Every structure is written in structure tokens, then in C-alpha cells.
Amino acid sequence: MKITIERATLLSALGHVQNVVERRNTIPILSNVLLVANGSDLSLTATDLDLTIIETVGADVSQGGATTTAAHTLHDIVRKLPDGAQIELTLSDQSRLAVVAGRSSFALPCLPKEDFPVLAEDTLPHSFSIAADELKRLIDKSRFAISTEETRYYLNGIYLHAAEAAGVPMLRAVATDGHRLAQVDCPLPDGAASMPGVIVPRKAVIEVRRLLDQVDGSVQVSLSETKIRFAFGKSVLTTKLIDGTFPDYQRVIPSGNDKILEVDRRQFAEAVDRVSTISTEKSRSIKLTLEKDKLHLSANSPDSGSADEELVVNYPGEDIEVGFNSRYLLDIASQINGDSARLDLADAVSPTILRDVADERALYVLMPMRV
Amino acid sequence: MTIRRLPEGTVNRIAAGEVVERPASVVKELVENAIDAGATRIDISMAGAGRDLIVVADDGVGMTRDELVLAIERHATSKLPDDDLVRIEHLGFRGEALPSIGSVSRMTLSSRARGSDAAWQLQVEGGRVSGPQPASLPGGTRIEVRDLFFATPARLKFLKTDRSEAASIAEIVKRLAMANPLVGFTLREGEREVFAYLSSSGADASRDRLAAVMGRDFADNSVAVAVERDGVRLAGFAGLPTMNRGNAQAQYLFVNRRPVRDRLFTGAIRGAYQDLMSRHRHPVVALFLDLPPDAVDVNVHPAKAEVRFRDEQLVRGLIVSAVRRALAEAGHRASSTVAAEASAAFRTGSQGAFYGPAGRANGSSGLAEAAAAFQHQAPPGAQTGQHDPDGFAPASRTTEATTGSAQHYPLGAAVGQLHETYIVAQTEDGLIVVDQHAAHERLVYERMKKALLSGVARQGMLIPEVVEMDEGAVGRVLARAEELAELGLVVEPFGGGAVIVREQPALLGEVDLKGLVRDLADDLAEFDDATTLTERLNDVCSTMACHGSVRAGRRMTADEMNALLREMEATPNSGQCNHGRPTYIELQLPDIERLFGRR
């Protein structure tokens, strides 16, 4: 194998795939990236056995071939080479990859490409195309709620499925950590109606989101019960899905919350942020007291004192008092882009619904906190 | 095969299997009898670790000839005057001990009833009785047990080494001696006197006896516990957390003066010392629980090592709160054993470290370094102001003015900082060295814990967690649901074999609730106490406390140091860090003088 490639091209491709490679591996070859030179293309593959990214870039291939070498090392080398450098990759014998650019030359140990794990090629019966912006929105607005507690593994991802909102078919992303929940919809793409509900693991969500920055236009999604693939033009990400049952989230979204509060989103977020300065480091509790057209936020801490702030809001309902984790409130408030936010409350112990008044397609559910 | 009634001898041997397990159980039964007989001194001697010979002689009321004959019948006792098993006021009552022992050994009983002018003697050999014959005895009862287990050789094979059998005899006698300060005890092994405790009386009798049995250290480094609630009285002494052990052997509980081992007690003690020492260390305590005989059932174990309380919650609550309160009142006290170790280290420092590195290896403890550092300092005990400022923070000079007035505080006035890590303070009669990080960490932690007590914030579960467990575990957890709710964990029943968690302590953030609840169920089974949850909460506090406190290496001004000392005096449990290590050590002037050979 002998190829010449432009530094920027190689760097961006390595940048995309190397995130998949774990820093520490018990299987040595998982630290490596698979390089395959063929025709006028170089393809790079990295995997952690659950998630695989393949990216194909143009290169000047004088001799085809394939090998694997340490992904992070190669990435670091390429990153440090001067801008505009032409990089020559040569596999002289099977154990050393020569990386040469100008006066710098490196020899990297290789492992044979035959040992590189290949994800079984399954058939992915369901397939649809979705606008990159829509997919971005689904991920951005829901991923903050993904659980990190590994014992509830079935919550460690985004639940992607076909649903219906007010009679209109939707593609829906749901994430929850057991305390709060995010539900985001977009119009159902053609071909997605029959897809099974799948849980896309957090690591894949993060990588997909990273790759989405590189594309506009659309993303081709294909999936089966156990795998999902996102094709972004020159890069393709395939991941195993979380093998578990996502809880029946619709049951926990309340329908009878009749105390409706509308508040300026920015004022609200800023007030919550200010008042929460006082609440204790870990519990971060903050109290919302509502009376007609008035929202009173307060926090108390034996160490730091107390904080109070009052906002003029649109609230016709009866007086109510409810506590929340201020960090959860801020997380949700930062997902709301419109000018005003709406809170549907019931009482101090039942879930509250939060949403963007201008956006019917996203809603958030939050459990209160009690002191 | 036909069913038949077992002969008396076999019945006694079966009973002996339960009551007389090893030589120590013989000693226990006989000494308890002596105590029940109102003895004021009891002499015990043994040979061959009790296998060859056990003699227990007392000066109690004694027995008449007829009583003597009856005593070796099974279920014959003087201790249940009205056949009431609910109100048991004696140590023994089952009437099993003497016939059981008699059935497996060669036993001689001699006794002279008080007021009688004749003593009688009776022999029992493997259950066969001969006598009574007249004997000579000044008073009381003397029981001699020879060739124990000769009739049941199988049992002999299960005995441990002589050393460990002898040790367990000594342990049993010690326990009984602790509970009966008014009775004098001596234990001899052959010609050697193992120990002798004089009978003492007066207000300090109990403390004196504990000191005699458990050592002076315990008396000096424990706090008195004395409370009474609903007719239950708890008295005794709880060791300071800085005096701790590797196992729970040195935890003694006496229920109505009867030594018992009980898991409720172990759990309560663990709870009481919970954040004062590491999980792997054990405190030293001796507590006497006195409650009306009908509030406790002692008839659940043949050797009466376990008891059942009618109101377990009350007893547990009483122990935990009383010990906690006593320790909190002790405030910043750290044990003097620590200071003793320190001065020992000082000594090796002056002998070895002076001349070369060998001394370091010798002194081994980190305090040798402190000792080395001290060699640059002014002679301990000298007034401030003369010392070489080298090694002291400059603050020392500014403190001179305040020294005089602050010196009368228990932790004295700060005179300087060593290596920006330790605060040195002068008290009226000595010297204090404070580990500034450990001390401040404890202060911050205690403050957080207090805040925690005012209410644990609970985060509601949008998706409640169902935890499946066996029914016993479910029952245990649900039985304590109220207590758990106060700690922020709200659980409800969910079918037969599961609980559902509705709310969790907000402090814990996202947490493995299944694991937490299962650990709790195990805790409740083992210690009857929900320590896991409090520990988890305290762990979070302690991590935050660690980050929120003054580190080693930070230079402090005199005012800051004095403020820290004053706060330590005012804060409960400030004498040790969260792991039971001392936050400060104290060297009394006499200790210092001894170091210089002035005493």
C-alpha cells in the first residue's frame, strides 16, 4: 500500500472516526483504525465492537492495500503536521506503516487487517431519509435527559419510534433519566411508518450529532430490530441498539394538569439561575410559588442564606407551591428557543409539563422535588 | 422400631450438649449460680484449661442437705419462686446446669447453708449420684468438676487448644466480673493467678471494675452513658472513637447484668459510631441495659447468649441516641492513647533521628517526622517568644499578645503553624498539635450533617423504579418505610415480591436504586438498621466537606488558627476525622517533662 493524501482531508476523516476508539482497550486491535486504499479512495474504519464508523476520502493511491494502526497516535501525528502538508502513507512490510510528510517521518506498528473486527452485515429492512436539521433537532432537544445510570441501561439512549401527535404521524425521540423526560417530534419521513421502536445508545447519539455538523441536506437512516445505520454521504455510522424495553413513557406524561403558567422564557431561566445560587450544592432545590399572575421563586440554605425573586407572569389559576431541582429547570429552559415557556402544573407531587409556547413538537416532563 | 422414652442419663447428656459446650460454659453456669447465691467473692481455679479440673468456690447462701440432693435433679431450681417465666430476675432459672455438668464429668458439690453448722457433700460421676456425706466447709458452696466430658469422649475431640479454651474461660469470668462489681473474683490456672478483681463498692464501683477488666486506657478514654426512658435504663461507658479496634470483641452489653451478644446491639453500636470511624474499625464499649424483667425474654437460648426485647425499637433508639449524645458531649476529646503514641514517637525521635536515618525506621510512625521537626524548636514547655522562628509560620510572632488570654481554652492558643499543615497551640497544661485539614473537614462535615437533619430533599421519580426482592427483604424494607422516607427514600409495596421507589434523596443524584434498596434490605437483616442509606448520604457530605475545607499546605493567620480551635471546641465529634483518625494530639506538660527526664 502506498498513498499520498492532503493533511486536512486525512485529519478531518481521522477526527471523525477516532472518537469511537476507546483510550484503553483489552483487545489491542480495537485501538487501531483500519486503512483501506483502493482505486482513488482511502477508507478509514474504527470500531468499539458496538459502534463502527467508516469514512471514505479521496487520495492519490499509487498502490492499493490495507492495514491497521493506532488511531490516536496517527491522529496526533497528523494533527501536528504543518497545514497543507502532503502525507505519504507506505506499508513497506506488513508490520510497519511509514508516515512521511516533508522532513518528518514516522514508522508505526501495524496489525494485520484480517484481524480487524467486522460487524456482521445484517439486512436493515427499514429505511428512510431525514433532513439533517430535523435529526439535529431531535437529538439536541432530547439528549440532555439521557440517563447515565448504567443499571437502568434501557434509559441510556434515545428512544426513536413512529408515533402520532394530534392525528399526524410523527417520528419521535424520547429520553428520560427517571426524573425528567424529553419528547421531541418531527414529521414522519416516508418509509419510517413501519419501523420498530429502537433505543439508540448515548455514545452513538454523540457521534451522530458530531457527524451531523459536517453535513447539510439529508441523512439516510436504515435500521433493523438490533442495528441502526446513519449514512452521511462520505461517512457511515452503524451501531448496535440497546437491547431492552423502553418504559411506557406516555403513561407518565400527565394529561389533566390544569394550572397553566406562561412565562417569558429568558426571564424565567435567568431568575432560576440567580435564585439557585443559594440552594445547596447537591440538591439544588428551588421553590416556585404561584399566585394570580405572579411567580415567586425562592431558595433557602442554612449555609448560604436565602434568595427571592418575583416575576410577572400569565397565570389565572389558584395558588400553588412546588419545588424543583433548579438544574433540571435550567436544562429544560435552555432547550426552549421561543420567547415564552408554558408550564402545566397539577400539584406539588405530580409531574409538571414544560414546553415552548411556539413549538408544539417538543415537550418536557419534570418531577417535583420535596423538602 | 418402637418409640420409647429415653433414660434420664441420656436426657441429661442431650441437655448437656446444649448447655455444656466447652469448659467455659461450665465456668459460666457455676459462676452464675454463685452470683445468684449472693456471693461477695468467687474463686475460680482451673487445670488443663478446665478439662482436668474446674473449681468454683463462693461465700453465698449455700445449700442444706436436702437442697443439695435436689439440686442435681433436672429442672430443679430455687430461682423461679412462683413458676413465672416472664419475670426472671436471676441469671439462671432453667435448672439444667448441675445435672447436665454432672452427667458428663466427675463432680463434687460441697455446701454449707448459711446459719447451719454442718456442711454436706455429694458426688456425681457420669450422672451417677453418691452421697450425701458430711463434709467440712467454712460456708458457701464449692463445686469441683474433674475430667470434664469423660463420659462423652466425642465432645473432647471438638475442643480447641488449651490456650484458646483457657482464654475463653477468662473471657467469661471477665464478662461476669464486669457486670458484678460488688463481687470479688479471682481466677487461677494451676498455681498461677490469672487475675484478681477486688470487690468494690461506692459510686465508682462500676467504672473501677471496668478499668480493672478492660484496662486503664478504657477508663481514661471513654465517656459515661446514663439515660433512662420508659423504664429502660442504659448506663456504662462508650470509648472515644479514636480508640478503636480491628474487631468487635471489645463491645460488651449486659442486659439486666447478664452478658449477651446480640445483633441488635452490634447494629446499634455501628449506627452510633457510624461516621466517627471507618467501617472496618470497631469501637470499644461496655453498656449495661436494665429493664423490667417482663420487657425482655432471656429464655431463647440455652446458654442465654441471646435475648429478645419486647420493644426492639425502643432499645435500639435508646442505645444509638444515648451513645451519640455522650460522644457529642465529649466534643473534641481525642483519646490520650494517641498522645501516648505520640510521646513514644518523640522518644524514638530523640534517640534515633538525631543521629541518623536509622531512627526514622525505628520510629516508623509519621510522627517521627514531627519529632524531627521539633528538634529545631524551643524546648517544649518554655514560654513563647524565645523560639527560633525557622519552621514556624510568621503568625507565631503576632500571637504572643493573645496567648495569655486564649490559653485557658481547652485547645489553647495557637502559637504557630508547622509545615503549613499542623497548628501548634499552647494550653494551660500542655501542647496541642492540630491537623488543620482533618479538623476543618470535620467541622464542615458536621455542619452539613446538621443541615441534612433539617430535612432531606426528595426528588420524585417520573419513572418509578421497581425493585424485586424476596418477600422477607420486601417486608423488612417496608417495615421501615417511614424512617426511610425521612432519609429521602419513599418506597411502597408493589405486588408480593417487590417494592417501588417513588422518591429518592435528591442529594444522591442519579443512583443505582436497585442496588441501594437491596443493600438496605441486607443491612436490615444483618444489623436491623438502615445504615447504608445514612452512610451514602454522609459519604456525599463528606466528599463535599473534603473539597470545601482548608487543605494542608495553606498558610493560616493566627486569627484563623484560633478561630478553628474555638470552633473545634464548640463542635461535637471534632476530635476525630470521618475515619476515626484524630484531628489533634495533646501532650500534657508532665509528658513533655518526662521526655526530658525531668520526671
Q: Would you give the distance in Å from CA B598 to the centre of its chain?
A: 37
- Of B452, B437, B441, nearest to B535 by C-alpha is B452
Q: Which residues pair with A220 in a beta bridge?
A: A129, A231
Collapse the DSSP code of B514 into the 3-class scheme (helix H, G, I; strand E, B; otherwise coil) and give the result.
Answer: helix
pLDDT value at A45 more than 90? yes
Mean per-residue pLDDT for A126-141?
93
How far is residue B20 from each of residues A233, B93, B366, measured CA to CA in Å?
A: 85, 15, 49
Grid cell of A84 as nine digits: 497543507
Q: Give tens-digit pLDDT for A141-156.
A: 999 999 988 888 999 9
- Predicted pLDDT of residue B375: 39
Give the chain A residue nearest B548 (alpha carbons).
Answer: A281
DSSP states of B313-330: HHHHHHHHHHHHHHHHHH
Task: For residue B461, give the chain A residue with the closest CA.
Answer: A179
A179 and B461 within 8 Å at the Cβ level: the answer is yes
- Using the Cα atoms of residue B166, residue B171, residue B176 and residue B177 in order, give the sign of their dihedral: positive
Letter for the amino acid at B301? H
C-alpha gyration radius of chain A: 25
The dihedral sign for the CA sequence A188, A190, A195, A199: negative
| Residue whose C-alpha cell is 440497546 | A242
Give the strand order in the sheet containing B430-435. Answer: B413-418, B422-427, B430-435, B584-588
Nearest chain B residue (CA) to A368 = B460
> A178 to chain B nearest CA, in Å?
5
Indicate left, alpha or beta for A291 from its phi (over 0: left) and psi (-120 to 50: alpha): beta
Q: Which of B450, B463, B544 sits opposite A282 (nearest CB)?
A: B544
Kindly state the DSSP code that residue A28 receives in the 8-state scheme.
Answer: G
C-alpha grid cell for residue B523?
443491612
| CATH architecture of the domain formed by B381-599 | 2-Layer Sandwich (3.30)
Please name which of A79, A101, A103, A72 lies closest in space to residue A88, comparing C-alpha atoms: A101
Q: Which residues contact B475 (CB under 8 A, 6 or more apart)?
A: none
Classify A32 as helix, strand or coil.
strand
Q: How far is A149 from chain B (nearest CA, A)?
A: 6
Please indicate whether, in this complex, the C-beta atoms of A282 and B461 are within 8 angstroms of each other: no
Instruction: Extract the C-alpha cell encoding A184.
Output: 421531541
Q: Would you say B222 and B258 are in contact if contact means Cβ atoms under 8 Å apart?
A: no
CATH of domain A2-115: 3.10.150.10
The DSSP code for A233 is S
Neighbours of A339 (CB within 10 A): 12
Name the one residue in this structure whose C-alpha cell is 508490520: A95
pLDDT at A245: 92
Dist CA A44 CA A64 (whole Å): 14
Which residues of chain B form CATH 3.30.230.10? 215-330
Which of B458, B507, B512 lies nearest to residue A370, judging by beta carbons? Answer: B458
Residues 6+ away with beta carbon under 8 Å from B313: none
**What's the pLDDT tens digit per position in A57-104?**
999 999 999 999 999 999 999 999 999 899 999 987 778 899 999 899
B320, β-bridge pairs? none
| Cβ within 8 Å, pair A282-B540 | yes
CATH of domain A126-251: 3.10.150.10
Strand A86-91 with A65-70, pairing: unpaired
Contacts of B460 in chain A (CB under 8 A): 179, 349, 351, 367-370
Crossing angle (nearest 10°) for helices B263-272 and B312-330: 30
Query: What does the block give as the cell for A207?
Result: 457521534
Task: Kindly list the residues of chain A whose beta carbon comes within 8 Å of any beta carbon in chain B.
Answer: 147-152, 155, 176-181, 247, 249, 252, 280-285, 301-303, 323, 325, 349, 351, 365-371
Query: Considering CB atoms only, which of A148, A178, A371 is closest to B461?
Result: A178
A285 → chain B, closest CA residue:
B457
Residues of A with Cβ-Cβ distance to B501 under 8 angstroms: none
Strand, coil or helix: A208: helix
DSSP, collapsed to helix, strand or coil, labels residue B533 as: helix
Strand order in the sheet with B140-146: B128-135, B119-125, B106-112, B140-146, B53-58, B41-47, B184-189, B192-197
- Who among A148, A179, A252 is closest to B459 (CB)? A179
CB distance B451–A325 less than 8 Å?
A: no
* Beta strands, E only, B147-191: 184-189
Nearest CB to A367; choose among B447, B450, B462: B462
Which of B450, B457, B503 has the CB atom closest to A283's CB atom?
B457
Which one, of A12, A62, A52, lies nearest residue A32 by Cα? A52
* A154-205 pLDDT, tens digit each: 999 999 999 988 889 999 999 999 999 999 999 999 989 999 999 999 999 9
Ranges for all domains in chain B classified under CATH 3.30.1540.20 = 381-599
Q: Is B128 helix (H, G, I), strand (E, B) or coil?
A: strand
- Given a cut of 50, the residues of chain B with pLDDT beneath it are 347-403
Q: Strand, coil or helix: what is B108?
A: strand
Nearest chain A Cα distance for residue B476, angstroms: 23
Cβ–Cβ < 8 Å for B505, B517:
no
CA distance A284 to chain B (A): 8
CATH class of A253-366: alpha beta
Tell me where in chain B the CATH 3.30.565.10 domain(s) lie.
Answer: 8-197
B337 Cβ contact list (under 8 Å, min separation 6):
B217, B221, B242, B243
What residues of B are in contact with residue A366 (Cβ under 8 Å)? 462
Contacting A with CB below 8 Å, chain B residues are 447, 450-451, 454-455, 457-463, 465, 503, 506-507, 509-515, 540, 544
Burial grade of A23 (CB within 10 A; 0-12, 13-18, 19 or more): exposed
Q: Are B239 and B576 contacting, i.e. CB atoms less than 8 angstroms apart?
A: no
CB contact under 8 A, A282 and B506: yes
Give the gap in angstroms from C-alpha B452 to the nearest C-alpha of chain A. Answer: 10
Q: What is the pLDDT of residues A235-284, one digit of tens each?
A: 999 999 999 999 999 999 998 888 999 999 999 999 999 998 887 666 68
Within 8 A of A365 by CB-CB distance, chain B residues are 462
CB contact under 8 A, B462 and A179: yes
The label of the residue with cell 426511610 reads B484
> Could you report the per-residue pLDDT of B100-121, keeping only the tens digit for each?
888 888 888 888 888 778 888 8
Q: How many CB atoms sit inside 10 A of residue A264's CB? A: 16
Distance of CA B40 to the CA centre of its chain: 26
Which of B455, B460, B513 minimises the CB distance to A367? Answer: B460
State the CB neighbour count (10 A cutoff) for residue A315: 22
All three cell numbers of B403, joined, read 496567648
CA angle B43, B44, B47 (to 5 degrees): 145
What number of other Cβ atoms are within 10 A of residue A119's Cβ?
Answer: 17
Alpha helices, DSSP H only, in B233-278? 263-272
Which of B445, B450, B459, B510 is best to mutate for the A interface (most A CBs within 10 A)? B459
Nearest to B388 by CA among B355, B369, B415: B415
- Which CATH number does the domain B8-197 belong to among 3.30.565.10, 3.40.50.2300, 3.40.50.1820, 3.40.50.1460? 3.30.565.10
Pairing of strands B251-255, B285-290: parallel
Residue B235 backbone phi and psi in degrees, to 5: -135, 170
Beta strand ranges found along B372-474 (DSSP E): 413-418, 422-427, 430-435, 458-468
A252/B463 touch (CB, cutoff 8 Å), yes or no: yes
CB-CB neighbors (< 8 A) of B454 in chain A: 302
CA distance B445 to B574: 10
Sign of the CA dihedral A270, A274, A280, A282? Answer: positive
CA of A181 to nearest chain B CA: how many angstroms apart? 8
Residue A120 to residues A198, A231, B42, B347, Cα–Cα distance (Å): 19, 17, 84, 72
Instruction: Please give the single-letter amino acid code of residue B414.
Output: A
Distance CA(A235)–CA(A12), nearest Å, equals 11
Fold of B215-330: Ribosomal Protein S5; domain 2 (3.30.230)
Phi, psi of B476 (to 5 degrees): -60, -45
Q: ∠A276-A282-A286 over CA atoms, to 5°?
A: 30
pLDDT band per the 50, 70, 90 thresholds, residue A222:
very high
Per the CB < 8 A criterion, the answer to whether A257 and A353 are in contact is yes
Q: Mutation target for A interface from B448, B449, B463: give the one with most A CBs within 10 A.
A: B463
